[in-house]
Amino acid sequence: MNRHRLTARAAVVALLATGLAASPALAAPTGTGTSTGAKARVGADWAKQSITFTAGAGQVNDLHVVPMDRGDGVRRIGFRDSVPLQPGDHCTYLTPGDETYVVCELPTGSSRPDRIDVFLGDGDDEIATSDPGVATVSGGPGDDMLHAHTAHTVRGDAGNDMVMGRVVLDGGDGMDHLMAVDGDQLLWGGRGDDMIEAYEGDDVVYAGPGDDHIMGGDGDDILFGGSGDDMVHGEGGDDLVVGGPGKDTVDGGAGRNIVLR
- The 8 Å CB, 24+ separation contacts for 249-254 are 250/225, 253/216
Residue 198 has pLDDT above 90, yes or no: yes
Residue 41, SS3? Answer: strand
Residue 34 has pLDDT above 50, yes or no: no
User: Whole-angstrom Cα distance, residue 40 to residue 36?
Assistant: 7
Tens digit of each residue's pLDDT (9 = 90 or more) over 58-83:
999 999 999 999 999 999 999 999 99
Across all residues in the chain, what is the average pLDDT? 89
DSSP string, 147-180: E-TT-SEEE--SSS-EEEESSEEE--SSS-EEEE
pLDDT of the residue at 113:
97
User: Whole-angstrom Cα distance, residue 222 to residue 147?
Assistant: 24
pLDDT greater at residue 16 or residue 206: 206
How far is CA 200 from each of CA 133, 197, 204, 226, rounded to the nearest angstrom?
A: 22, 9, 12, 22
How far is CA 164 from each of CA 100, 122, 211, 261, rounded to the nearest angstrom?
A: 24, 19, 20, 28
pLDDT of the residue at 38:
74
Lowest-pLDDT choice from 15-24, 74-83, 102-111, 187-196: 15-24
Residue 18 has pLDDT above 80, yes or no: no
Residue 118 has pLDDT above 80, yes or no: yes
User: Whole-angstrom Cα distance, residue 29 to residue 17?
Assistant: 26
Residue 13 has pLDDT above 90, yes or no: no
What percent helix, strand, coil does the chain show, rounded to 5? 5, 40, 55
Q: How far is CA 240 from the centre of its chain?
A: 24
User: Whole-angstrom Cα distance, residue 133 to residue 53?
Assistant: 13
Residues 101, 79: contact at Cβ < 8 Å?
yes
Residue 228 has pLDDT above 90, yes or no: yes
User: Whole-angstrom Cα distance, residue 247 to residue 254?
Assistant: 23
Strand order across the 85-87 sheet? 85-87, 40-45, 50-54, 115-119, 134-138, 153-155, 168-170, 186-188, 204-206, 222-224, 240-242, 258-260
pLDDT of the residue at 8:
44
> For the residues 102-120, what does the mean pLDDT come to?
98
Residues 225, 214: contact at Cβ < 8 Å?
yes
User: Whole-angstrom Cα distance, residue 129 to residue 66?
Assistant: 6
Nearest 5°: CA angle at 224, between 221 and 230? Answer: 120
pTM given for the model? 0.86
pLDDT of the residue at 182:
84
User: Whole-angstrom Cα distance, residue 82 to residue 66?
Assistant: 15
What are the boundaries of each domain within the chain?
3-35+49-58+112-260
